[in-house]
Chain A
C-alpha cells in the first residue's frame, strides 16, 4: 500500500514537472516551431534530392546524414539477439525441473499449412520490395527485415519450429546477423579506403555508376540490405528462443 502511494506521488510530481514545460512549447502542428523551421530541417527538405538523388528524405537522413546512428541501431538489434541467446539459450544441461510447454501439434492442420505455404512467398517478395524500394517510397531495411523475419515466424507457427529451423538454423541466423553489420560497417570502411571519412559514400564514386550523388543513392541501398539481413535473423532468433525457453526444440 505504501509503495503504491509513494509511487503515485512520484508519478504525479514527474507529470506536473513535464507539463510545466509545455507552457513555452510550440502548439500542435505549428509550422514556425524551431524544430520545423530550423536550418537543419530546411537543409534536409531542400537539399536532400540534390545531394543524394533520393526522393525519400526519411531514408536519406536515416542511411546517410545520420548513417552513423543507424549503424549503431543495427548493432543494438544484434546485441539484443546475441544477448537473448547468451542469457536464455540452454545447451541441454540443467534446469530440467520446469515443466515443458504444452505439446504442440506439429503442423497437423492442413488448411493452416496450405495457407502458410501460399502466404509466405508473398510476404517475402513484398519484404524484398520494401527493402529495395526503401529510398523511393516508405520502407527500408528495418521494415523489410521485420517482414522477412515475420515470414519465418509464421512458418514456425504453422509448421512447427523444426520446419523453420531447417531454413534458418541458429548458426545461420547468427552468421546472417553478423554479416549484416559487416556489410554496413564494411561499406563505411570502404569509403575510408577511397579517401573519404567513415560512411562518406560520395567517395565511392569511382567504383559505382553515376556521379557522387548517385553513389550516395546506391550506397544507401547497400546499407539497407545489410540492416535487413541483421533484422531478419535477429527477429527469428528472438522468437525461437523466447518461445522455447532457449531450448530451440519444440516451439509453440
Chain B
C-alpha cells in the first residue's frame, strides 16, 4: 500500500474535484465537504509519504506509471520520483489547500453562489497540478502539469471582479509565454538527447559530454526564462501583483503561498537534477554572478515597491516578489548552505505568506477597507486576528523563533560562505524594509492613526473593496489563521531537522 502513496496523493483530490462538479452548486455544503475530505485525506497521505520516505533506505521513492520498466537504461513510461524535498513540498501544498478549504467555506457561500461547485473543483485541481509538478520525473509531463495549474489559476482569478478578469488576461499572456519557453527548452533537450526523463537526460548529457553545445546552453536559458516568468522574478513580475490582489479573497490566499514557491522548486529541480550542479556552477562565474545580481535587484525593488503601497494585498504581493529574489539568489550561491536555505525558504515562505494573506483577507472583509487604514486600532477590536498577523509579520522581518529568521540565517550564511556580500547586504536591507512596513502597521493597530494622515489622502480603488463585509469573524476563518501561525512557529522551531532532511536530499555538488 505505501508504495502507492505518491499517486494517491494526486488521485484523491482529482476524484474530489470530479465529485464536486457532479454534485453541483445546489449542494454547496456537500461540495465543501467533498473538498475537505479529499484534501484532508491527501494531507494524511502526504504525511504518510514522508514517514515512508524516512523509513526507506534509498532516500527516494520511484513510482512507474503503467508499470513500464526501463528499457536498456531508459525510461519508456512516466516515472514519479519523490525525495525528501519533494515530499515536504507536497505536504506543504496539500496542507495549505486543506486549511484554505476550511477558510473558504463562508466566503464561497457569499461570493460564488451558483459557481461554488466550480470553485471547489478548480481549487482541488490546482492542488492536483501542483502536487504532480513536484513529484513527476518527466520533463514533458511537467509542462502538462504546469499548464493545469496555470489554467486553473486563470479561471479562479477571473472569477473575481472586472479588474480580476483584466489581470487574469495579462497573466494568460505572460504565463503562456513562460510555459511555451519551457516547452521549447524541453524540445531542444529532446532533440539532443532523445529522451524526456529528467534523470535520463542528465545521464545522456553527461555520457555524451554535450555540455559545450550551444543548443544545450540555449535550452537552459529558455527553461530558466520560462520558469522565471512563471515565478515572477523581478523584471518579469508584472502579472503577479494585480493577479493576486484582485483575485477573490479565498483564491489569493492559497495561490500566493503556493504558485511561486512550487515554481522555485521546479527551478531547483531543473538546475540540480536535470542539468546537474557540475554544469550550472562550473560556468557559474559568468551567469551565476549575473543571476545573483538579478536576485539582488529583485529583493531591493520588491521591498521598495512594497513600501510604497497603501493597499494591503498589493503590499503583500510585492513582498512575494522580494521573497522570490531570496530563493533564486540562494539557489545560485553554489554552496550547500545557500541551497539548503533556498529549499527551506520554500517551506517557510509558504507558511508565512499563507498566514499573512489569511489575516489580511479577514481584516479586509471585517473592516470593508482594503487600505492600510483598515488596521487603525485593530489590536483592541480584533485581537485574535492581529495575533496571527503579528506572527506572520515578525516572520517576514525575521525575528526568532519564527521560520523567517532561520531561512534568512541559512541564506545569509550561504552568502557569507560564497563571499557574496552584496547578496547578504540585500537580505539585511530587505529585513529592514520589512521591519518598517510591519511596525508601521503595528503602530496603527496599537495607537490608531497618530500621524494625522487624512484617510482621504490615501488613494481609493473601488475595485479592491469587498462586496460584502462580515459582522463578526467566524471561527471557520480564525482557526485556519491560527494553524497557519502555528506552522510558522513549528517550521521555525524544527528548522534543524528539516534542513538536515533537505541536505540529505541534495545531490552532490
Query: A interface vs B, CB < 8 Å?
Result: 17-18, 20-26, 33-41, 43-44, 47, 64-69, 72-73, 75-76, 78-80, 82-87, 89, 91, 171, 174-175, 177-179, 181-182, 185, 188-189, 192, 196-203
A-B contact count (CB 8 A): 175
For A66, give its contact among B78, B132, B154, B155 (CB under 8 Å): B78
Give bound CA distance, A198 to B193, whole Å.
Answer: 28
> Contacts A17-B218, A26-B191, A69-B141; is A79 near B155 (CB within 8 Å)?
yes
Closest to B119 in A: A86
Closest to B193 in A: A34
Q: Does B64 contact A (CB under 8 A)?
A: yes
**B135 CB → nearest A CB, Å:** 11
Closest 6 CB pairs of A and B: A38-B194, A83-B155, A200-B67, A86-B118, A34-B194, A21-B215
* Binary per-residue interface labels of chain B (406-424) against chain A in the complex, 1 for a CB within 8 Å, 0 otherwise: 0000000000000000000
Closest to A90 in B: B114
Contacts of A34 in B (CB 8 A): 191-194, 204
Q: Is the CB of B218 within 8 A of A20?
A: yes
Closest to A197 in B: B67
Q: Does B277 contact A (CB under 8 A)?
A: no
Q: Is the CB of A91 within 8 A of B194?
A: no
11 further A-B pairs in the complex, CB-CB below 8 A; given A33-B194, A80-B151, A178-B22:
A24-B214, A43-B74, A44-B76, A66-B77, A76-B147, A86-B122, A91-B114, A174-B22, A185-B14, A188-B11, A199-B67
Give bound CA distance, A85 to B194, whole Å.
Answer: 40
Can you sample 30 A-B contacts with CB below 8 Å? A18-B184, A24-B213, A26-B191, A33-B191, A34-B204, A35-B190, A37-B194, A39-B71, A39-B73, A40-B74, A66-B141, A69-B141, A75-B125, A78-B125, A82-B155, A86-B118, A86-B122, A86-B158, A87-B158, A91-B114, A174-B21, A181-B14, A182-B18, A185-B14, A192-B4, A197-B67, A198-B4, A198-B63, A200-B67, A203-B67
Give bound CA distance, A64 to B159, whole Å.
Answer: 36
Q: Is the CB of A40 within 8 A of B67?
A: no
Contacts of A196 in B (CB 8 A): 67
Q: Is the CB of B115 within 8 A of A89?
A: yes
For B11, give its contact among A35, A44, A80, A198 (CB under 8 Å): A198
Give bound CA distance, A67 to B138, whole Å.
Answer: 13
For A21, give its contact among B72, B138, B188 (CB under 8 Å): B188
**B310 CB → nearest A CB, Å:** 28
**A39 CB → nearest B CB, Å:** 4
Give bound CA distance, A84 to B172, whole Å.
Answer: 14
Q: Does B66 contact A (CB under 8 A)?
A: yes
**A21 CB → nearest B CB, Å:** 4
Closest to B184 in A: A18
**B25 CB → nearest A CB, Å:** 9
* Binary per-residue interface labels of chain B (186-210) against chain A in the complex, 1 for a CB within 8 Å, 0 otherwise: 0010111111100000001000000
Give bound CA distance, A18 to B214, whole Å.
Answer: 10
Contacts of B213 in A (CB 8 A): 24
Q: Is the CB of B67 within 8 A of A189?
A: no
Contacts of B368 in A (CB 8 A): none
**B63 CB → nearest A CB, Å:** 7
> Contacts A21-B214, A38-B74, A72-B144; is A199 near B125 (CB within 8 Å)?
no
Give bound CA distance, A142 to B75, whole Å.
Answer: 26
Q: Is the CB of A21 within 8 A of B122?
A: no
Contacts of A47 in B (CB 8 A): 71
